[in-house]
Chain A
């Protein structure tokens, strides 16, 4: 059949299975790194903002606004094509990792900050009254609550940004889309593109179901 021949040709699937699997690993690997460092950086920024020092909050707010308002693809191109002209050459995968981390951190910072300002002031006071330092209250009292209340949005945002690893294809990172793209050009068949879509389904469909489950479970009762 015409359709299957174009989109699900078994011979082509067999030929490109191995490079595709390798590309899947690249995608997963970069996604995991992005999620870990994005969450950590976002939490750190929210923590710094809690000190309510103008010279600290101001740049953080600016950073969060920029990273949320600019398309990541634009940022990646600026970094990838612009930096070499001032003598800085970054790996393609590092540009992808860096931009996605910064974008995720910006969203995480905003999510945390909104919660931190909404927790009753008594939570801060109860900590202070028992002799905990500001940092200790932040780490042991405020952050765990912010994390718990925000598991659904944090999971959703992490998944959305993980899927943006597909943008790596634009700057030549050997992830799923880029490997599928060159395989398509090479084989003259659309099958590698179907494989790419299926690869994402295999990775992210369970993640979507998981996030649905989490949303139901952690729906914050208050």
Chain B
């Protein structure tokens, strides 16, 4: 037992690692802010294209969505970070992560927005057009607000997934939370910094996970 506490919950080592981990957590938060922003807008744009009447717009959007949902973000990230230099393009880790996440997250967000738009009855669009709104206005003021409200739980759980996913940035040596913790582990020969990082992730995500569970239950009861 003592052995166990020493290996995973070593207070001294945790105290030592705290400044490094907090710095890492700050990078993680910044990274989250950027990639969630990019993903939401990329996804929204893609979803509108994928919901359009023109097959010329629709098919490439679907292809994009399915391709980038099929490829694990980790391989995308490595391909961008380690592959592009071979053609003379060198990107810093932060930018590589942003590009990889933009491609992956847009696809996932687009799927969510699209299913929300699809679920809005046709009559809503017709009613909006009948009151003289242009298609774009109808989309913006009538369809999208309803669609977003309907898929709010899915959006939230995708945000949780993205925050967790930022941990893969450690693979390209971006000094976010997991990278910092793993550094501290290697230096101290002790896993306590990893456990501490887990604690920080929990601090951030546990409340959201609770809210999602509440959401699911609330929705299912109202059905």
Contacts and interface: CB of A to CB of B under 8 A. Distances in A.
- Chain A in direct contact with chain B (Cβ < 8 angstroms): yes
Interface string A61-78: 000011011111111011
B21 interface: no
A72 B164 CA distance: 8
B74 A3 contact: no
Contact of A74 (B66, B78, B201, B220): B201
Grouping DSSP codes into helix (H, G, I), strand (E, B) and loop, the B interface class, with mixed when no group exceeds half, is helix
A208 B209 contact: no
Contact of A118 (B67, B69, B209, B223): B223
Contact of A73 (B70, B167, B217): B167
Interface stretch (A39-47, A132-140, A191-199): A191-199
B220 A77 contact: no
Nearest to A176: B75
Interface stretch (A51-59, A123-131, A160-168): A160-168
A110 B67 CA distance: 28
B78 A177 contact: yes
Contacts of A166: 72, 74-75
Nearest to B70: A204
A81 interface: yes
Grouping DSSP codes into helix (H, G, I), strand (E, B) and loop, the A interface class, with mixed when no group exceeds half, is helix
B82 A190 contact: yes
Contacts of A194: 79, 83
A170 interface: yes
B75 A197 contact: yes
Interface stretch (B1-9, B33-41, B128-136): B1-9
B206 interface: yes
A70 B213 contact: no
A193 B82 contact: yes
A37 interface: no
A166 B76 CA distance: 11
Interface residues of B, number: 55
Contact of B190 (A85, A87, A197): A85
B76 A69 contact: no
A181 interface: yes
Contacts of B194: 74, 77-78, 81-82
B220 A115 contact: yes
Nearest to A69: B205
A205 interface: yes
B24 to A, nearest CB: 12
Contact of A70 (B87, B201, B208): B201
B56 interface: no
A71 B167 contact: yes
Given A74-B197, A197-B79, A6 B223 contact: no
B202 interface: yes
Nearest to B168: A73
A205 B70 contact: yes
A191 to B, nearest CB: 9
Given A78-B8, A86-B4, A205-B70, A73 B178 contact: yes
B70 A69 contact: no
Contact of A69 (B195, B201, B221): B201
Contacts of B87: 2-3, 6-7, 190
Nearest to A81: B191
11 contacts: A70-B164, A71-B167, A74-B201, A78-B191, A82-B191, A114-B217, A115-B220, A160-B161, A181-B78, A190-B82, A212-B66
Interface of A: 2-3, 6-7, 65-66, 68-75, 77-78, 81-82, 85-87, 110, 114-115, 117-118, 160, 163-164, 166-167, 169-170, 176-177, 180-181, 184, 189-190, 193-194, 196-197, 200-201, 203-205, 207-209, 212, 215, 222
Given A74-B194, A82-B195, A118-B223, 17 more contacts: A2-B87, A7-B83, A71-B201, A74-B178, A85-B190, A110-B213, A117-B220, A118-B217, A164-B72, A167-B168, A184-B83, A193-B75, A200-B75, A204-B69, A204-B71, A205-B66, A205-B67
